[in-house]
Structure 1
Amino acid sequence: MSWNALKDLTLTNDRVVLRRVRIGDLAEFGQIAYHEDIWRYFVSRIATPADLDQFIETAVHDTLSGSRIVFAIVDRETGRIAGSTAYGNISESERRLEIGWSWVAPAARRTGLNRATKLALLDHAFDVLGCERVEFKTDVLNVAARAGLAGIGAQEEGVLRSFNYMPGGRRRDVVYYSILRDEWPAVRRERFAALTAEPAR
């Protein structure tokens, strides 16, 4: 698949469907997005209908322009949207991209949905796009996200100090993680075994 076709991408596995955010998703996102704790470590927040409108509009614009590919995370068990994630900082020439801008509704946490989402994104990045590097970043204060990234086998690389402003004016430090192409087979086998095991016969 061409990197130029990412805006039309849909990814699936046994647990999730990832497809681009649509204007028509507004109402469904409105049922899950207004939880303050989702946005504690985000550089943007959804607190009002206007914020949600902006999120949807930006997601659609970025996807169509190719600057980011913003996905709705659809739980296959319920058929409902449970959150969002994205490919960003896309560099075809360097065979590199970032997975981020990820959030799920509180009810979807600790259900395996986020891990299944990461598996779908990583499989496509390495096996289809031929990435040499997939990177992640998060606020150094976001202990849960850092544990989650370590849990999927991403290697911590270092902290970039005073990286950007947060709502309220705090300058945040960000910590970078990555998975490299030659690491991915072992990471997939060791960290995603429960999602990739053959069903019992």
Structure 2
Amino acid sequence: MLELRTLLSNGIILKPLTLTHANDLAQACQDGELWKINETSVPEPDNVIAYINTADSMSDRQAFAVIDELTGKAIGTTSFHDILPLTKRLEIGYTWYAKSYWQTHVNTTCKLMLLTYIFETLEYQTVGWRTDIENYRSQNAIERLGAKKDGIIRGNRVRRNGVISSTVMYSLLKSEWPQVKVELTNKLNKSY
């Protein structure tokens, strides 16, 4: 397992996800009724505790609560998963935020903190992302981060409505990180 640290930047705190965040996350997923979006992994409000317990029980996943420093409340989650220490590769996923935080600085801030930690502290070589083939909002967000599209894995996932779907895979290499870091930092500077 990786050592998880609390990360802070631009009014956003990333802390290891625990059951103490359950009530906040139950409220956050109701902001936009996010569990109704078939292409995501957002839990129903009544299933947040199970969602946290599942994240905690997975040997290759380490989850963070995303906290608005101003309110002190958890507004979503994000995770490291599919962690491969030998090849120094991991993925960022299980990411969701209350709808009122969409198209704000939150996602860029979180990804800048996570990528800095992954590439500069953990010294990993590759970060991956995956999303449903029909989740265009997520695909656009990943591409705005500077990740490259690796391809599509066909018919490998089942949506919550039972439909079998495909996954779009993305990645970012450590050699690409310096330029991406500059671009993400510039985006954040323009948003303030």
| TM-score past 0.5 threshold | yes
3-state SS of paired residue (2:188): helix
Which of 53, 70, 82 lines up with 1:77 in the alignment?
70
* Cα distance in 2 between the residues matched to 1:192 and 1:121: 13
Instruction: Using the aligned pairs only, state the percent identity.
Output: 28
SS state at 2:60 partner: coil
Counterpart in 1 of 2:93? 100
Q: Can you give the 5+ residue segments of structure 1 that lack an aligned partner in the other structure?
A: none
Deviates more, 1:33-42 or 1:105-114: 33-42
1:10 to 6, 14, 18: 6
Question: What TM-score do the two structures reach when normalised by structure 2?
Answer: 0.90
Range with bigger deviation, 72-81 or 118-127: 72-81
Deviates most, 20-29 or 173-182: 20-29
Counterpart of 1:132? 125
CA spacing shift, 1:38–1:47, aligned 2, 3 Å: closer
2-structure distance, mates of 1:196, 1:131: 26
Cα pair distance change 1:12/1:107, threshold 3 Å: same
1:103 and 1:115 map into 2 onto residues whose CA distance is 13
Structure 2: 5+ residue stretches without partners: none
Partner of 2:44: 47
Q: How far is the alpha carbon of 1:162 from its aligned partner?
A: 0.2
* Change beyond 3 A, Cα 1:196–1:68: farther
* TM-score w.r.t. length of structure 1: 0.86
Residues 1-201 of structure 1: pairs in structure 2 closer than 5 A: 4-6=1-3, 8-34=4-30, 35-37=32-34, 40=37, 41-42=39-40, 44-49=41-46, 51-62=47-58, 66-195=59-188
Q: Any idea what the Cα deviations from partners look like across 1:134-169, whole Å, max 9, x if unmatched?
A: 000101101111111111101111111001111222
- Paired AA for residue 12 in structure 1: L
SS at match of 1:168: coil
Q: Kindly provide the CA deviation profile for residues 113-139 of structure 1, in whole angstroms up to 9, marking residues without a partner as x.
A: 011011111000000111110000101
Structure 2 residue identity aligned to 1:112:
H
Distance in 1, Cα, partners of 2:2 & 2:173: 23
Q: Cα RMSD (Å) of the superposition? A: 1.9
Residue type at the aligned position of 1:13 = S
Structure 2 contact 24–75 (Cα < 8 Å) conserved = no
The separation in 2 between residues aligned to 1:29 and 1:180, in whole angstroms, is 32
Q: Distance in 2 between matches of 1:69 and 1:196?
A: 29
